[in-house]
Structure 1
């Protein structure tokens, strides 16, 4: 006789069976009940939709094993390592900057042992967590003082709230940027309690526009580095030195939201002239804010560097407590900053900079080695092709980085299904789809990740 809805057991009846009762002991009552409700609910829906599902043997060990497997799947972490084969080095969706081993080691130390996070070892009194990186930042940027918060948006918010709350901020219309996640600079200014005063036009703003906008209510001239887009053609903007001179003459603060921020000149590596923080401060900018987890190559952080008196205001502001950097990120940032000192070589020791500056011959060789591995497992549609990689995360938006990729396809699978299957691999492999193939860009893939990619394809091909 075919099963019916009446043959579905009650949850309590299932819990009373020995194999299921054992699961309650191994896991928890709530987890087991949740999975059982899901199983019974799916069978009930099948009956109601007119299907005639085969009922499992609810008393069997195989059914209990199925329940246990679902519980284990639910317990698995959702945040997992992936292989970034997109060619986007600082990929926001994939966690941005990879940390150097020294930074990871510093985080582990801070996580597993007590530390002098806010203890002055010389005096035995309470110290400041900012002291652990302030001297390093000042050394590397030439700033008088520095402070670090949990991200760059918080750095902008704190800086404006401490210096311009209830007063006006003058900014060019061409620099009212939107960053990832639809966070817009005008909204951050409004949240700080300051009043935005826009000047100039989208493509042209002159020093006279800034000068005409300054009045008794003005606190800050805000310059924003357009790191995630470019306006080309009929454009104009005042030089930083012009703005600095104006700000000094009119007794207002010149602040720059640099966004990404670099500590070294990247032009020798074929990259555009991204402004170096030290050079910006030399022009007379009073305060510069920039990210720790982009081109700097460290953890998520918002770094604020500049005049000592302004930084002191920020340190004393009540918002600082809410946006301060945590101890793990602080440890990683300190370790990353130390890699900019001799005898270290940042372009060698910091993963982001190493990928940006990698030799094209090295990348091509890695592509050919992966292609050989894939052909070795029987894949026919494999080709090494020239590619274009990018810095990512709004950094160097118009700079193409020459690269090489392995283009792949399977005869009985669409590229969309192949891309999805690679994302389900362990570890997941994230590529991009172009020209009807899955492209795996080797600028962002490490040598020791090649066997994992080949193994993923072998598992997919075997299905």
Structure 2
């Protein structure tokens, strides 16, 4: 008969292991508490396995010598092997908790799961310049007096859009809540039923409006709303007219909607402010890239909207932010609202946004320096050439033919994403791979676990890498990761 507990007692104690030379590098790297926590879990798992193995052997007929197996496994588990197991688990935990670089091969340019817009080098440098130390966030260095927090950013926004004033908060949902709370809390906000949008994460406009303290007043129908619907709804309780750009869906067929020009004329005639939520926030006309009907912030201001709202990390191509533009009186009311402080942005966002906006001051440079615009401006023919080069580089690898079927270069379609023009596409080219030695799901998992990770899409029994969302300088990394994923 075995003595299971005697076998288990041969496992090293936590104190002996943690104070050993084998564990010293782990303690230096991860800290003593984290190593002890993982060590206890590893030892508990070994203890359970040994007890299970001992009981199993005791119940099995045969020579007593069979009972030596668990004891032998304990002898083989030295402190060095134990530290390796703990390190693997700590590394895995750190990887799962931390943000990691990803090569986006999905064809979706503003992929919410992958952080939406990549930042320009100038924005990254601006973040680095202020991140390591102190910065003049609320100090006027010329006068030595306290300054306005986002003065540089606000001035750039006004210059680029023609607005009288601007304020920046942490995202466009916050911009909507803050604007409604400041201008229409306790009063009705009139909006078309066809514009009661739901944005990511199941946040719906009626719920956002309720959180602001404003009262929703729906007019019109899902597919048809006329200016008379707004006019008849205006009364003593009206606080604002809200026009929302339905960026993440399209209503087609028997439709009618009210233009911003019409709404502004009505608002001015009745003394009611007009708020235009344009969503994704374009500062350049995206028709040049084949995408139509995205409103421009500059045009909304020129049309006379009292307040214009949009995101910073979508079509603008900057950091996550909510941007509020408009007339000076309306913006001052918004800035003075108590919620404004709760929604303000930090120095890193201000630095990145200012650097991104600076790039828009020179239209000749913008498409080559703002990464989103750079990807959009790449001709489809260039993407095809790169795809063919990638396939040539892959097929030249010694073990590639054994691991993959013949790779293909196939046409594809890229999408803006981020809730912008969901039905419109841009021509692209893709590399399609069919691994032989492992399944598609396992292949995709290995690519997600790589460094850098690659995220593509599985379609038609193949794994696709869409070059529309891959930067040219990442092509060599793609070859390296793909070749390693089948080993």
TM-score when normalising by structure 1: 0.94
Taking the aligned partners of 2:75 and 2:440, their CA distance within structure 1 comes to 36
Alpha-carbon deviations, 1:30-57, whole Å to 9, x = none? 2232222221332344457667874463
1:28, distance to aligned residue in structure 2 (A): 3.6
Q: Is 1:32 matched with 2:35?
A: yes
Structure 1 residue 122 displacement after superposition: 3.2
Contact 1:11-1:37 within 8 A present in 2 as well: no
Partner of 1:411: 436
* Aligned counterpart, 1:70: 89
**Aligned match of 1:304:** 324
1:296, 1:322 → 2: CA distance? 24
Residues 267 and 46 of structure 1: CA distance in aligned 2, closer, same or farther (over 3 Å): same
Matched, 1:441 2:460: no
Partner of 2:281: 261
**Structure 1 Cα separation of the partners of residues 230 and 75 of structure 2:** 75
Answer with 1 or 2: which has the greater Rg.
2
Is 1:227 aligned to 2:247, yes or no?
Answer: yes
Asked if residue 177 in structure 1 is aligned to residue 197 in structure 2, the reply is yes
Cα distance in 2 for residues equivalent to 1:223 and 1:57: 71
2:168 to 145, 148, 156: 148
After superposing the two structures, state which structure 1 stretch, 25-34 or 226-235, moved more.
25-34
Q: Give me the CA root mean square deviation.
A: 2.1
CA contact (8 A) 2:135 2:347 kept: no
Q: How does 1:260-279 map to 2 (within 5 A)?
A: 260-279=280-299
What is aligned with 2:416?
391
Task: Give the structure 2 partner of residue 240 of structure 1.
Answer: 260
416-425 or 170-179, which deviates more: 416-425
- Over 3 Å counting, the alpha-carbon distance change for 1:191 and 1:176 in structure 2 is same
Q: C-alpha distance in 2, partners of 1:349/1:235?
A: 39
1:115 Cα deviation (Å)?
2.2
Question: What do residues 62-92 of structure 1 show as CA deviations (whole Å, max 9, x unaligned)?
Answer: 3233323433444456211011110111111
Aligned counterpart, 1:15: 15
Tell whether the 8 Å contact from 1:169 to 1:218 is kept in structure 2 after alignment.
yes
**Cα distance change of structure 1 residues 165 and 406 upon mapping to structure 2, 3 Å threshold:** same
Distance 2:191 2:356 in 1: 32
TM norm structure 2 = 0.90
Q: How many angstroms apart in 2 are the aligned matches of 1:318 and 1:146? A: 17
Partner of 2:481: 456
Aligned residues: 462
Report the secondary structure of 2:76's partner residue: coil
1:216-365 equivalences in 2 (<5 Å): 216-342=236-362, 344-365=364-385
C-alpha separation in 2, matches of 1:358 and 1:21: 51
CA 1:203–1:2 in structure 2 vs 1: closer, same or farther (change >3 Å)? farther
- Give the drift of 1:266: 1.9
Tell me the alpha carbon deviations over residues 314-359 of structure 1, each in whole angstroms, 9 at most, x when there is no partner.
1111111100111111111111111011275211110001111211
Q: Distance in 2 between matches of 1:99 and 1:35?
A: 37
The answer for unaligned runs of 5 or more in structure 2 is 58-69
Question: Which of 70, 76, 80 is matched with 1:61 structurally?
Answer: 80
Quote the Cα distance in structure 2 between the aligned partners of 1:201 and 1:75.
51
1:121 aligns with 2:141: yes
Query: Matched residues in 1 for 2:109 and 2:291: separation?
Result: 14
- What secondary structure does 1:443 align onto? helix
1:188-244 per-residue CA deviation (whole Å, 9 max, x = no partner) reads: 000000110111110111111111111101101111100111000000011211111
Q: 1:56, 1:333 → 2: CA distance?
A: 59
Question: Which protein has the bigger helix share?
Answer: 2
